């Protein structure tokens, strides 16, 4: 199957969103573009935009490859995506509130009780706890793929601690440095105000009893974490403190941060630490990354934690397969952005089908992320598929499977000129007293010809995403 190319579909010629860009491109010397690619790499290296790759020697630091050909969407395409994302985010928040309180969706028989009760991402400690302002998912990254002119699908919901927004911002800044004339010719909607929007959004969900401007901090696991650059970047851009668990303690029923003037109360904590490590008195007792007693402060409504503990159940891949039912249950409407067909390997009939069709399916761990622990059937050897089949049989409930989609392509700049590569898109959503979606998001691109795996941890790169101001 020939993939839909977003710039030049087969037999259709140049698409409208790319017309002004192509006119500019026709004027360029190929040698200049190659130089600009090298300039971009120097900018990223100088800025220190790296990520750690686990499993390699000392968690090797890598530069995420950046491609200078932008991915361009029309304003009309973006408006359609926004409507679908907003509907989905509303449903996810309503779902989280419901399963930690009345569990109406389970009583109505729309999803099985054991899917919640036996799920390691479900936190019993959150039952009956309502976060400040009633918001569970303050920051969401929704992964979207495209297969045709009007065919968009949600690949997954990232509702725990979605990463990548710093790359979106740096990609745009780099493009504006390299090609200022392009942004004079083409009206592209800005993304640079995201840190300000994030700070305003976090401030809007401050706990009751917090008077005046809340003190906000970003909680990082530390410099060894793969996304540490992003943690430091966002704290700096928001003008708030970057803290580790050892910098915080509970004093007089509040979480306080160590400063040179003594301990200062924290009102809103944007945490990039997983649930299990957040509070050694409630979760893993061996955690040195969290804050002893913070869950007691949270349950008392004295601090906002973004995203709320327990939100991981909303981006669990087994829950994903029920998202059409979840959206309809809480919004009363069909999903505007459809899911990809998903087989739940926990169901015997689905498991049987998946085992018979491994050569044509993508199989993912229910709690997996970063492209790890998955099998891309068409790209796997017979030996790899046989080994994976044994894992499936041993723990079927740990996996879901999906058809191998022909993801859309966008050109990248290669030594031989422009060449198509598969992409996905992660728009970033902020939730407070309103929902705000930054125009664009992070486009991830599979740099290997024919590859469908876009994750940076698996060799993928990124692009600037342009939403036209039309």
pLDDT at 404: 87
Tell me the pTM.
0.92
> If pLDDT is split at 50, 70 and 90, which confidence band does 49 have?
low
pLDDT at 108: 97
Cβ proximity of 424 and 452 under 8 Å? no
Same domain, 177 and 47: yes
Same domain, 282 and 393: no
Averaged confidence pLDDT in the chain? 92
State the average pLDDT over residues 405-427.
93
Kindly provide the residue ranges of all beta strands, DSSP E only, lying in 149-283, ordered along the sequence. 151-158, 216-219, 241-243, 248-251, 254-259, 262-265, 268-271
DSSP-assigned states of every residue in 175-193: HHHH-HHHHHHS-B---TT
> If pLDDT is split at 50, 70 and 90, which confidence band does 458 have?
low
The answer to whether residue 178 sits within a structural domain is yes
* Residue 352 pLDDT greater than 90, yes or no: yes
Structural domain of 399: 343-403
State the average pLDDT over residues 432-444.
96
pLDDT at 1: 67
pLDDT at 245: 96
State the average pLDDT over residues 270-285.
96
d(CA 19, CA 14): 7
The answer to whether residue 460 sits within a structural domain is yes
* Residue 255 pLDDT greater than 70, yes or no: yes
The answer to whether residue 4 sits within a structural domain is no
As for how many domains the chain has, the answer is 2
The fraction of the chain above a pLDDT of 70, given in percent, is 95
* Residue 271 pLDDT greater than 50, yes or no: yes
d(CA 210, CA 162): 27
Q: For residue 261, give both structure tokens.
A: 């003037």
The answer to whether residue 454 sits within a structural domain is yes
The answer to whether residue 47 sits within a structural domain is yes
Q: Which of 403, 426, 450 is the last residue of a domain?
A: 403
pLDDT at 333: 97
Same domain, 409 and 289: yes
Same domain, 250 and 362: no
Same domain, 220 and 356: no
* Residue 451 pLDDT greater than 90, yes or no: no
Of residues 214 and 119, more confidence is placed in 214
* Residue 435 pLDDT greater than 90, yes or no: yes
The answer to whether residue 356 sits within a structural domain is yes
Q: Is 389 helix (H, G, I), strand (E, B) or coil?
A: helix
Same domain, 392 and 251: no
pLDDT at 65: 87
d(CA 34, CA 412): 12
pLDDT at 372: 65
Same domain, 462 and 355: no
pLDDT at 61: 60
Same domain, 257 and 391: no
**DSSP 8-state secondary structure symbol assigned to residue 305:** E
The answer to whether residue 182 sits within a structural domain is yes
The answer to whether residue 10 sits within a structural domain is no
The per-residue pLDDT for range 356-393, each reduced to its tens digit, is 999 999 999 887 665 567 888 888 899 999 999 999 99
Same domain, 196 and 66: yes
State the average pLDDT over residues 80-104.
97
Same domain, 413 and 428: yes
pLDDT at 50: 58
pLDDT at 56: 47
β pairing state of 442-445 and 435-437: unpaired
pLDDT at 58: 43
Q: Which of 353, 372, 403 is the last residue of a domain?
A: 403
Q: Which of 373, 403, 433 is the last residue of a domain?
A: 403
* Residue 411 pLDDT greater than 80, yes or no: yes
Same domain, 83 and 148: yes
Same domain, 313 and 166: yes
Of residues 11 and 130, more confidence is placed in 130
Tell me the CATH number at 372.
Answer: 3.30.1490.270
Burial 23-49 (b: 16+ CB within 10 A, else e): eebeeeeeeebeebbeebeebbeeeeb
pLDDT at 59: 44
Helix, strand counts (H, E) of the chain: 14, 22
* Residue 124 pLDDT greater than 60, yes or no: yes
- DSSP lists the bridge partners of residue 403 as 361
């Amino acid at each position: 199957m020939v993939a839909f190319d977003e710039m030049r579909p087969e037999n259709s010629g140049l698409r409208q969103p790319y017309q002004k860009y192509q006119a500019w491109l026709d004027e360029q010397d190929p040698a200049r573009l190659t130089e600009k690619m090298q300039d971009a790499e120097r900018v990223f290296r100088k800025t220190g935009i790296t990520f750690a790759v686990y499993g390699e020697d000392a968690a090797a630091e890598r530069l995420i490859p950046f491609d200078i050909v932008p991915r361009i969407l029309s304003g009309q395409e973006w408006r359609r995506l926004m409507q679908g994302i907003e509907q989905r985010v509303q449903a996810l928040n309503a779902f989280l509130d419901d399963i930690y309180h009345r569990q109406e969706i389970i009583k109505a028989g729309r999803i099985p009780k054991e899917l919640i009760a036996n799920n390691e991402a479900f936190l019993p400690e959150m039952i009956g706890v309502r976060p400040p302002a009633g918001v569970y998912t303050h920051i969401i990254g929704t992964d979207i793929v495209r297969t045709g002119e009007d065919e968009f699908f949600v690949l997954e919901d990232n509702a725990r601690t979605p990463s990548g927004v710093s790359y979106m911002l740096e990609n745009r800044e780099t493009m504006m440095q390299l090609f200022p004339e392009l942004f004079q010719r083409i009206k592209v909607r800005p993304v640079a105000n995201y840190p300000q929007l994030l700070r305003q959004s976090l401030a809007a969900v401050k706990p009751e009893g917090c008077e005046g401007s809340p003190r906000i901090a970003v909680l990082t696991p530390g410099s060894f974490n793969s996304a540490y650059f992003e943690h430091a970047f966002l704290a700096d851009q928001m003008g708030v403190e970057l803290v580790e668990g050892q910098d915080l303690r509970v004093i007089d029923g509040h979480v306080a941060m160590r400063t040179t003037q003594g301990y200062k109360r924290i009102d809103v904590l944007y945490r990039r630490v997983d649930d299990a490590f957040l509070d050694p008195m409630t979760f893993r007792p061996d955690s040195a990354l969290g804050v002893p007693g913070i869950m007691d402060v949270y349950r008392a409504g004295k601090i906002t934690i973004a995203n709320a503990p327990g939100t991981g159940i909303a981006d669990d891949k087994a829950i994903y397969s029920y998202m059409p039912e979840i959206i309809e249950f809480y919004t009363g409407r069909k999903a505007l952005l459809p899911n990809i067909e998903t087989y739940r390997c926990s169901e015997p009939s689905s498991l049987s089908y998946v085992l018979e069709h491994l050569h044509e399916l993508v199989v993912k761990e229910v709690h997996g992320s970063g492209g790890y622990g998955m099998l891309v059937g068409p790209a796997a050897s017979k030996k790899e598929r046989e080994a994976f089949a044994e894992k499936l049989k041993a723990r079927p409930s740990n996996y879901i499977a999906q058809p191998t989609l022909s993801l859309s392509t966008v050109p990248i700049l290669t030594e031989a000129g422009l060449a198509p590569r598969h992409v996905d898109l992660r728009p970033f959503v902020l939730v407070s007293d309103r929902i705000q979606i930054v125009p664009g998001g992070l486009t991830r691109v599979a740099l290997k010809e024919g590859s469908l795996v876009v994750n940076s941890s698996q060799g993928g790169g990124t692009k600037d995403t342009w939403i036209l101001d039309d």
